[in-house]
Amino acid sequence: MGLVIDETNLYWLEGSRGTATMTVHAMPKTGGADTVIARPALYQPSSIAVDGQYVYWLAGCSGEDPACPTATEGLYRVPKSAEDAAGEFMGGGYLPGMAITGGDVFLGRITYDTHGDPHDELDAVPVSGGPRSNLAAMNWAPGIGTDGTRVYFNGLNGFSSMPIGGGPVTPFGIPQEVNALALDHDQLFFIADQGVFASWKNGAHLLRLADAPSGGDLDVHAKVVYFGTGTSLNAVDADGTNLRTLDATHFNYDFVRVDDNFVFFIADGNIYRMPR
């Protein structure tokens, strides 16, 4: 599953384990018709992202879906203007979590050495086509993000960053696995170790903003961090003050996105909107 927004629309994935019936949806942020822009015969959608032209998603397999053909695992995309499309396959072996900037999709991939042992690596996949590039080794977790200059990910020595075109990996001294990540112009905000944290983009001034005992998702707007847990949708200022509950009438607040006017979120498998 997943939820993303652009200037005019929100996009999300639907699907269930055990059946190749996933769908990719679009709807105006102001409300209106739900358009199925892709209806591929794929299993286990896990991540979604957008750029100016395309919607991207990941599909996977697991032992819970013995009928799932592993050859279908990977990265797909479809034009935003499509309807009931099959989607374009862009490469396989990828793990949940991705970010887009500078003409590349950044995401984790499992590789195997000559002894058959698995290793995780951070890849860049060009949106214009062409071979993917291996940027760095990583310890996979779904918290991957970019600010257009650097890509942020879970490296071999903890949470790290590197230039989007490749180069030295800089560890932050943050050992926890980052499971959700949001960025603004000067800070990182992330969920790790059952909490919501903030730091500068070099990892300095690490601050625990709030507890998040069941993980969840987060987004940031105007120095306010919005995050979901198993039982509530919450907000906290970037300095750790003014923690408040925005909604607690549902369960499983799985995905959160924010724009200038509204907070969009998925809870109990439904999409909601509330004033920011």
257, 239 in Cβ contact below 8 A? no
DSSP conformation class of 156: T
Question: What's residue 16's pLDDT?
Answer: 73
Calculate the average pLDDT of the chain.
91
**Mean pLDDT of the region 181-206:** 93
Question: pLDDT band at 67, cuts 50/70/90?
Answer: low
What pTM was estimated for this model as a whole?
Answer: 0.94
**Mean pLDDT of the region 6-32:** 91
Task: Identify which has the larger pLDDT, 244 or 116.
Answer: 244
Cβ neighbours of 12 (radius 10 Å): 24
Question: pLDDT band at 62, cuts 50/70/90?
Answer: low
Report the C-alpha gap between 208 and 93 in whole angstroms: 34
Cβ contacts of residue 23 below 8 Å, gap of 6+?
Answer: 13, 14, 15, 36, 38, 39
Q: Where are the domains of the chain?
A: 179-276
Question: What's residue 63's pLDDT?
Answer: 59
- Pick one of 3.20.20.70, 1.10.490.10, 3.30.950.10, 2.120.10.30 as the CATH number of 179-276: 2.120.10.30
Reduced to 3 states (helix: H, G, I; strand: E, B; else coil), residue 71 is helix
Q: Which residues of 52-82 are buried (b: 16+ CB within 10 A; e: fewer)?
A: eebbbbbbbbeeebeebeeebbbbbbbebeb
166, 121 in Cβ contact below 8 A? no
Report the C-alpha gap between 90 and 40 in whole angstroms: 14
